[in-house]
Amino acid sequence: MRALIQILLMRNHSAMMDEEWVSLQRLESHLDARIARGDSQWQEAEVLATGAWKLSGTEGTIDLQTAQRVFCRVRTIEDRCNISQD
């Protein structure tokens, strides 16, 4: 969640170059697969991404679905690297 807030804030304040943002957007988010499963994993991701999006204050510049996709990308990377979310 902290990573998503930081990414959204960086993008919102032009601290992330367009090339970096585009590269991030090209990564697989697995969002559609999570939604299709409809399991608690998607529900948790939806709540956390929405909370991070609201906390970042980027509602006026970044849409919720983009924030959710970025969250799923970051989450997928964490899962693959076995990084703790504490």
Helix H or strand E segment including 53: helix 40-56
Entry pTM: 0.81
Give the residue-averaged pLDDT of 53-81. Answer: 87
Would you list the domain boundaries of the chain?
2-81
Q: Are 76 and 30 in contact (CB under 8 A)?
A: yes
| Whole-Å CA distances, 86 to 1, 21, 28, 83 | 10, 25, 24, 9
Encode pLDDT of 29-59 as tens digits.
Answer: 777 777 788 767 778 888 999 999 999 999 9
> Would you give the DSSP letter of residue 82?
T
